[in-house]
Structure 1
Amino acid sequence: MAEKTGNSRKKGGMKSFLGGTILTDDRFTQQLPFLGLLAFFALGLITNRNWSERTIRQIEIVQDTLDELRSESITMSAKLMDASRPSEVLEKVQQAGIELEETVRPPQKIIVPKK
């Protein structure tokens, strides 16, 4: 009998794999839970990779939008600084017909005595 069990262990290989008899072998069926666990881990890795790639693409899109908004902000800030120069303000006031004049005295500090 010892020869028969030793002989049956030797029957594995390519012939049993191609013939499909490996699926009924006890050694293979005992490993099915482990193979299922490996398949579960592989599925988890694939899902994680897809999720991380999608997240990276979203980060790149947000980064591009942020760069565009930053450049637009800098442009608007430069235009605002240009428009708020005293000479520009005076010119706009004169164009609008508002009767305001530019002061010739420098500003002075008002001191109120405490009682």
Structure 2
Amino acid sequence: MEEKVKNNRKRGGMKSFIGGTVLTDERVTRQIPFLFFLAALGIMLITNRNWSERTIRQIEVLQDTLDELRSESITLSAKLMDASRPSEVFKKVENAGIGLKEPVTPPQKLIVKEE
């Protein structure tokens, strides 16, 4: 009787695996839900990795764009600072022929007395 139990346990092997009879074994069929669970976890892991890599690529593209815009902003700020100097404004007004002249007297503060 012990020999029959040992033979039942030893039914597996390369022949049953290649022949496909291993799939009908009760020990294997009980594990099918667990195998589906493992497959679902694997798919979720792959999906999560792809999503995170895509997000990282988008962040890198946005970082490059931000760096370009920052350098452009600094360049435009420097040009504006240069163009707003009083001597530059005077030259532009003179070249435009508007007829404005540079004030000779300094500006004065107006004081209004309340009654």
TM-score, length basis structure 1: 0.91
Superposed counterparts of 1:14-29, under 5 Å = 14-29=14-29
Instruction: Give unmatched runs, 5+ long, in structure 2.
Output: none
Instruction: Provide the C-alpha distance between the structure 2 equivalents of 1:41 and 1:91, rounded to a whole number of angstroms.
Output: 72
| Letter in structure 2 aligned against 1:57 | R
| Corresponding residue for residue 63 of structure 2 | 63
- Inter-CA distance 95–12: structure 2 relative to 1 (3 Å threshold): same
Q: How big is the shift at 1:5?
A: 2.8
Instruction: Provide the C-alpha distance between the structure 2 equivalents of 1:49 and 1:25, rounded to a whole number of angstroms.
Output: 36
Instruction: Give unmatched runs, 5+ long, in structure 1.
Output: none
Instruction: Provide the C-alpha distance between the structure 2 equivalents of 1:108 and 1:12, rounded to a whole number of angstroms.
Output: 105
Q: How big is the shift at 1:18?
A: 2.3
Instruction: Provide the C-alpha distance between the structure 2 equivalents of 1:106 and 1:2, rounded to a whole number of angstroms.
Output: 118
Percent identity reads 71
| Letter in structure 2 aligned against 1:101 | K
Instruction: Provide the C-alpha distance between the structure 1 equivalents of 2:12 and 2:20, rounded to a whole number of angstroms.
Output: 11
Q: Deviations over 1:39-75 (max 9, x none)?
A: 0000000001001111111111111111111111111
| Letter in structure 2 aligned against 1:16 | S
| Letter in structure 1 aligned against 2:62 | V
Q: Alignment RMSD, CA only?
A: 1.4
Instruction: Provide the C-alpha distance between the structure 2 equivalents of 1:102 and 1:26, rounded to a whole number of angstroms.
Output: 101
Q: Deviations over 1:25-47 (max 9, x none)?
A: 10000000000000000000000
| Corresponding residue for residue 89 of structure 2 | 89
**Residue correspondences, number:** 115
| Corresponding residue for residue 12 of structure 1 | 12
TM-score, length basis structure 2: 0.91
Q: Deviations over 1:70-98 (max 9, x none)?
A: 11111111111111110000000000001
| Letter in structure 2 aligned against 1:85 | R
Would you say 1:75 and 2:60 are equivalent positions? Answer: no
